[in-house]
Structure 1
């Protein structure tokens, strides 16, 4: 019997757990690293560790490790917090591989479409210019470069806004009367958390099977939509009638991200539009 492929998911949060469970079902050995690793679901093998430390976690596996997926998220939302989570954390994880003499087949870095600063509603793909003006996109680009320079094949996966209706942040915003600009339309991009995990699993499985991967993919659904359309649709779904006094100014620009490259691999989003992703919500729920 062939050896089971192995993957370390460093920063194994919500998307990492969904990825880990999917890969486990496909026969992979999955390690999940986080500070509170004991809460990880079986069969993900928990590794308690701190990405802020250069010391190899005590539970870090010995022997061959086929893949590293770096999927950390910042717990402190300022420039030092972003730098610690994405640049220094990745540097530490790569250092742990080096200290253990492990040479993964490929490193995957979960990045963000926040590296794009376009704001005219234009279409964006992996080749579009990345000229972020804020520290969030700038730090993410620095971390991406660190991944590309790590000495192993590396792929960046730039995810759009992650959502799941069981986490009702957007619904709560709409219930509070969220008012957004309508003219010009502010295009927003999103991906359901299940689809984000499935895309990462598709990339890993493609590489394992010898398929050619690019060094960058966009993780978005099929429907980059004006934010006011999303809000209007949710208002009707939730039965909201009141409006807030202030209009929210969108910080993330206005662009339409294409998932054509990811779809060319055979990945198909289960939730191609926000309408599919939020279909389960009802007034008073979600």
Structure 2
């Protein structure tokens, strides 16, 4: 039995907490940084800290840290809010490591498939061009470059749309009669929140066991589906018959993201398709 490995999750919200619980079950020591650290689930060790503050939190762990996961999410959805959450926050956390003389084996940065601007249903992988038109993708790319140039080994994980049937955002839209474009189909990419946490856990454990990680992985399920197909399926599952007057507009492009690189490393999603991820809704109805 070797020494317990440690991971610190900065911006330890919903995704970070799911990851922290998985790593704790695997025998790791897990620290979580967030402003309201008292809300973190046991056994994640709470560190009360503000990613916007350049000063290192007082309860930051001493000694070595094996891994850092940066999993912040923006609370303000304008450009300044994005920059604060992803670029400035990341810069501060990297600075805290330096202040404490800590050099993790690797940093995982939770990024987004929003760095891709493709909109004609093309297949996308980690080598596809990233030319985002909007500030959200541009800020994410800037943060990716910051972490990849930080001098610490780093991997960016570009997540698709995170979903969980217990958070009924899409179901509520479907119940309200959500209409979406059918022609051309609007391809959408998603990953169940538990699979997103599972992919991060898989990458940490792969790196710890000596696997060579790439600097980028796409975090999506096996089934990039046209949004109208997802909506039709959910309508049937939920027994919705009415349609809304006007169509809902989607700002995202239309692209199909491939998880082949993560799968080649040995990862498999527990919920390979939206049908698997949302299946519990049908069981709950009956």
If the length of structure 2 is used for normalisation, what is the TM-score?
Answer: 0.98
Q: Match for residue 203 of structure 2?
A: 203
Q: Match for residue 60 of structure 2?
A: 60
The equivalences for 1:117-196 within 5 A come to 117-196=117-196
For residues 9 and 264 of structure 1, what CA distance do their matches in structure 2 show? 26
Alignment of 1:214 with 2:220, yes or no, is no
Q: CA contact under 8 A between 1:126 and 1:217: conserved in structure 2? A: yes
C-alpha offsets along residues 78-105 of structure 1, whole Å, 9 cap, x if unaligned? 0000000000000000000000000000
1:42 partner SS: coil
For residues 252 and 126 of structure 1, what CA distance do their matches in structure 2 show? 18
1:46 partner SS: strand
The equivalences for 1:230-245 within 5 A come to 230-245=230-245
* Deviation >6 Å, runs of 4+: none
Tell me the C-alpha RMSD between the 2 structures. Answer: 1.0
For residues 82 and 284 of structure 1, what CA distance do their matches in structure 2 show? 37
1:281 partner SS: helix
Alpha-carbon deviation of 1:284? 8.2
Q: CA contact under 8 A between 1:110 and 1:158: conserved in structure 2? A: yes
For residues 60 and 177 of structure 1, what CA distance do their matches in structure 2 show? 48
1:47 partner SS: strand
How many residues end up aligned between the 2 structures?
Answer: 285
2:117 partner SS: coil
- Identify which range, 238-247 or 136-145, moves more after superposition: 238-247
| CA shift in 2, pair 1:237/1:3, >3 Å | same
Gaps of 5+ in 2: none
Q: CA contact under 8 A between 1:238 and 1:284: conserved in structure 2? A: no
C-alpha offsets along residues 106-140 of structure 1, whole Å, 9 cap, x if unaligned? 01100000000000001000000000000000000
Q: CA contact under 8 A between 1:238 and 1:283: conserved in structure 2? A: no
Alpha-carbon deviation of 1:283? 9.2
Q: Match for residue 110 of structure 2?
A: 110
For residues 284 and 185 of structure 2, what CA distance do their matches in structure 1 show? 28
C-alpha offsets along residues 11-64 of structure 1, whole Å, 9 cap, x if unaligned? 001111111011111110000000111111111100010000001001110110
Q: CA contact under 8 A between 1:16 and 1:197: conserved in structure 2? A: yes
For residues 27 and 274 of structure 1, what CA distance do their matches in structure 2 show? 31
If the length of structure 1 is used for normalisation, what is the TM-score?
Answer: 0.98
Alignment of 1:251 with 2:251, yes or no, is yes
For residues 190 and 222 of structure 2, what CA distance do their matches in structure 1 show? 9
